[in-house]
Amino acid sequence: MKCLMKLFLLALAVAICGLELSPQGMAQGVNAAMLLHPPANSWPSYHGDYSGRRHSHLTQITPQNVKDLGLAWVFQTDQTASIKSTPLLVDGILYFTVPDNLWAVDARSGHELWHYHYPPNIGDHIGQRGVAMYRNWLYFMGPDAHMVSLNAKDGTVRWNKAVADVTKGYWTTMAPLVVGNHVIVGVGGDMDNLPMFIQAFDPETGALQWKWDVDSAPGIHKPVTGGTTWMPGTYDPELNLLFWGTGNPTPVLNGGARPGDNLYTCSIVALNPDTGKLVWAFQVSPHDTHDWDAVETPVLVDGTFQGKSRKMLMQTSRNGYFFVLDRTNGKNLLTVPYGPVNWSIGVDQQGHPIPNPKKDPAPDGRLIAPDEGGLTNWRSPSFDPKTGLFIVNAHPSYSLYFAKPTDGAYGWAGADYDLWGNATLEAIDYRTGKFHWTRELGKGTSAAGVLTTDSGLTFTGDTFGNILALDTSNGKTLWHAGLGWGMGSSPITYELDGRQYVVTGAGGVLFSWVLPKGSADVDSESGK
Amino acid sequence: MMPKLRVIPFAVLATAVFMYSTGFAAVQEGSVNTPERTAEHASANSSSLLRAGDTLFQQNCAFCHGRDAQGGETGPDLTQSKLVANDVDGSTIGNVVRNGRPAKGMPRFNFSDQELERLVAFIHAQVAGAENGLRRGVDVADLQTGNAEAGKRYFYGAGKCATCHSPTGDLAGIASRYQGLELERRMLYPEDAKSKVTVTLPSGEKIAGTLAYLDGFTLGMRDASGTYRSWTLPGVKYSVTSPVDAHVKQFPKYTDADIHDLMAYLQTLRQ
């Protein structure tokens, strides 16, 4: 009897250990608490946390010791596709992607645990920005507008659901966003005139929970098409508001075919994540004719603005303007250019840029600043709360835009050509829009995102293929390393076994950076 | 008989392509080329070659070059490309696809010979289709809205072009060398212009040359003999002159009319 009792107690203990109780306990995947307050040894979602600030509280790597940062390991994907995804780090395992491919890698050794291949498909293979995770399930987008749920332990497929019809011209590249019991996904596809939407799915079954239509502004008799929703948004748990950016209207360069503001394209929208209902919307580019999606990260910042305490949302948008909004109601606080802009005749009372009709694409061409790639694009900016600086990898640029009647009113409906551009890192004081410092990153475009840390470091990449660690207060270079290809994703950082790692992708290679063992800061923190 | 491909709704085209590709869905994942497909294509007629090329093009190229290769997001109109016109069975296209054009933002693609064959067939079919109308590129005729006299005044006046350029010197015959969009783009920003650099070694010796590389950590140059030399920075003093910067400074000053007038003037410089 005693023996049985002991066995029973042992079995009970084992069963309790298997429960998903504590975030610091045994491997248990991602739960709601972790998404709300990501522990130091994790990066559980695309932005790292719901704010989109891409700012870490880790301080082991400092402006003083970053010069000693070295390689822990690299992982070679053996593919020509550039890594655009932000890896997730959960329970010591990294999950990252390129189109049609998902890898699970041991973050300690850099070795592959498993590699999932998505089957051949006709979706656009322009990019893949990573996966979402909930409990022990991963959510991966195939290029052809399908969402696959996989077991994180071994990469086996649980289910595969279509979120849109690829044969109509939809495609998907994004990392989904998990909020509560919703897996939220947008779609891409502006080569056709298509209605666009954001959808939420049940994390267990993949069943559709709600759908919000971008082109659904009330009172509009002829809805516009377009407004892709191809980047993950941000979330405020206290307000229970989901913030998402929408893309450009279609036909892209032919605005004459779709007069009016074209709501809710090129907008920042606030939705209720449980119902998908629109709470407020702010249009960043009314009647856009230059392909300037407003899907850049809607960064959430609590701070003061003109002496008052505010819950804000900030976006360095593709069209060249930096927006600061009150995120409780969408009211505009600031709209100011953050680089050369020549397509508007000013900003209206509500903070909307007013497009200059003379700068619409024309048969003999119009000189436009910025270029079609935008003053910035999907790469993450970073907000550093200590300095109040909004740091963005910007692309001051000029281009020519053409459109003529024979180009029609479908899809691109015109042509645009880049003339010149630079890559410049800008540290913006959010209260005024003024630059605190800038740092040149080379000619052309750098696709690297920005990460800042509490110790005062900024990580990004230049156009020459260097990873850079800069002093956040003044932009001075503190460390660099040549990666052999331009950084094409946004960096992450986490702590593992008492050591702080920075992980970046460049070309088809993932790099893991760490201070050497034996470094005084490492040893004292890890207690060795 | 080469089908006349036009800009047709994607739904129609993609349905045909989709029906073709789903036949192979059961085949091993991740690989477009399998023994089954190879055998099939040994006896492929040209239309299935084109459909396969279309699939590859839509997946990998259409985002930048447009569904019909006539240009899209920043990618040039391939139907107006000299490189494509000169291509025979991938002789010139192959290199560009496999190596990419990193400086211009084009990625590289590790396609097999068969995939490249399909892609090249599709691209050439688009060229043929474009010649039959519904072209979406920019024609020389589109750019003739300026006034050459006004352009000449701008050249010598507000444009300050005469500071560095001369219609009888460096620009003599420019309109015979370049036409249309290519001429206008070079006029606004000549991409292959080089900068000059003078390096002063710690010894005081000065070396002058053409700037080849400068990222804040390494400076590279080609000296007068064409030899590449580089230095770790800081370590040497240097000064760079980039006359092409004047083009960048001019961007915020142009009106669109200035640009069209200047283009009209440059087009008179045929010898």
Chain B nearest-CA residue for A101? B30
Mean pLDDT of chain A: 94
Chain B nearest-CA residue for A443? B103
Q: Which of A395, A417, A467, A468 to mutate to test the interface with B (most CBs of B within 10 A)?
A: A417
Interchain pair A364, B215: CB under 8 A: no
Interchain pair B254, A371: CB under 8 A: no
Longest dimension (CA), chain B: 71
For residue A127, which residues of chain B lie inside 8 Å, CB to CB?
none
Interchain pair A118, B29: CB under 8 A: yes
pLDDT at site B48 = 84
pLDDT at site B37 = 38
Interchain pair A402, B138: CB under 8 A: yes
Interchain pair A191, B11: CB under 8 A: no
Positions in chain A short of pLDDT 70: 1-4, 6-27, 520-528
Q: Give the gyration radius of chain B's Cα atoms.
A: 24
Interchain pair B25, A120: CB under 8 A: yes
Does residue B59 belong to the interface with chain A, where contact is any CB pair within 8 Å?
yes
Quickly count: other Cβ atoms within 10 Å of residue A150's Cβ.
24
For residue B217, which residues of chain A lie inside 8 Å, CB to CB?
466, 480
d(CA A485, CA A505): 9
Contacting residues for B255 by C-beta, under 8 A, at least 6 apart: none
The structure tokens listed for A32 are 């709601």
The structure tokens listed for A280 are 């407020």
Can you list the alpha helix ranges (DSSP code H) found in B139-223?
148-156, 174-177, 180-188
pLDDT at site B12 = 41
Does residue B67 belong to the interface with chain A, where contact is any CB pair within 8 Å?
yes
Nearest to A398 among B74, B251, B260 (CB): B251
Q: Concatenated DSSP letters for A59-128?
A: -SS-TTTGGG-EEEEEEE--SSSPP-PPPEEETTEEEEEETTEEEEEETTT--EEEEEEPPP--S--S--
d(CA A509, CA A193): 36
d(CA A249, CA A225): 6
For residue A166, which residues of chain B lie inside 8 Å, CB to CB?
14, 18
Does residue B139 belong to the interface with chain A, where contact is any CB pair within 8 Å?
no
Interchain pair A410, B9: CB under 8 A: yes
Interchain pair A191, B10: CB under 8 A: yes
- Written in H, E and C, the secondary structure of A145-206 is CEEEEEECCCCCEEEEEECCCHHHCCECCCCCEEECCEEEEECECCCCCCECEEEEECCCCC
Does residue B106 belong to the interface with chain A, where contact is any CB pair within 8 Å?
no
Q: Which helix (H) or strand (E) holds B123?
A: helix B113-130
For residue B185, which residues of chain A lie inside 8 Å, CB to CB?
400, 417, 419
Does residue B23 belong to the interface with chain A, where contact is any CB pair within 8 Å?
no
Phi-psi region of A442 (alpha: psi -120 to 50; beta: other; left: phi over 0): left
Interchain pair B215, A442: CB under 8 A: yes
d(CA B74, CA A444): 13
Residue A403 Cα, gap to closest chain B Cα (Å)? 8
pLDDT at site A7 = 64
d(CA A257, CA A448): 36
d(CA B140, CA B145): 11
Q: Which of B6, B256, B260 to mutate to test the interface with A (most CBs of A within 10 A)?
A: B256
What amino acid positions of A are annotated as catalytic residues? 291
Does residue B202 belong to the interface with chain A, where contact is any CB pair within 8 Å?
no
Question: Could you tell me which of B81, B59, B60 has the C-alpha nearest to residue B70?
Answer: B81
Interchain pair A192, B248: CB under 8 A: no
Instruction: Give chain B's domains with CATH numbers.
Output: 10-130 (1.10.760.10), 142-191+246-266 (no CATH), 196-242 (2.30.30)
Nearest to A372 among B59, B73, B252 (CB): B73
Interchain pair B215, A414: CB under 8 A: no
Please state, in angstroms and as integers, the Cα–Cα distance from residue A412 to each residue in A125, B73, B146, following that order. 18, 8, 26
Contacting residues for A195 by C-beta, under 8 A, at least 6 apart: A213, A214, A215, A223, A225
Report CA torsion sign: A98, A102, A106, A112. negative
pLDDT at site B129 = 73
For chain B, give the number of residues. 271
The structure tokens listed for A402 are 């053409």
**Contact between residue A130 and residue A175 where contact means Cβ atoms under 8 Å apart:** yes
Does residue B77 belong to the interface with chain A, where contact is any CB pair within 8 Å?
yes
Residue B172 Cα, gap to closest chain A Cα (Å)? 23
pLDDT at site A219 = 74
pLDDT at site A395 = 98
Does residue B251 belong to the interface with chain A, where contact is any CB pair within 8 Å?
yes
Phi, psi of A7 (to 5 degrees): -65, -40
Helix (H, G, I), strand (E, B) or coil at B58: helix
Positions in chain B short of pLDDT 50: 1-44, 133-134
Nearest to A364 among B18, B72, B142 (CB): B142
For chain A, give the number of residues. 528
* Residue carrying structure tokens 């969402």: A147
Q: Which of A253, A377, A402 to mutate to test the interface with B (most CBs of B within 10 A)?
A: A402
For residue B138, which residues of chain A lie inside 8 Å, CB to CB?
365, 402, 415, 417
Residue B180 Cα, gap to closest chain A Cα (Å)? 11
Chain A nearest-CA residue for B110? A80
**Contact between residue B164 and residue B243 where contact means Cβ atoms under 8 Å apart:** yes
Q: Which of A67, A76, A126 to mutate to test the interface with B (most CBs of B within 10 A)?
A: A126
Burial category of B163 from C-beta neighbours within 10 Å (exposed 0-12, middle 13-18, buried 19 and up): exposed
Residue A359 Cα, gap to closest chain B Cα (Å)? 9
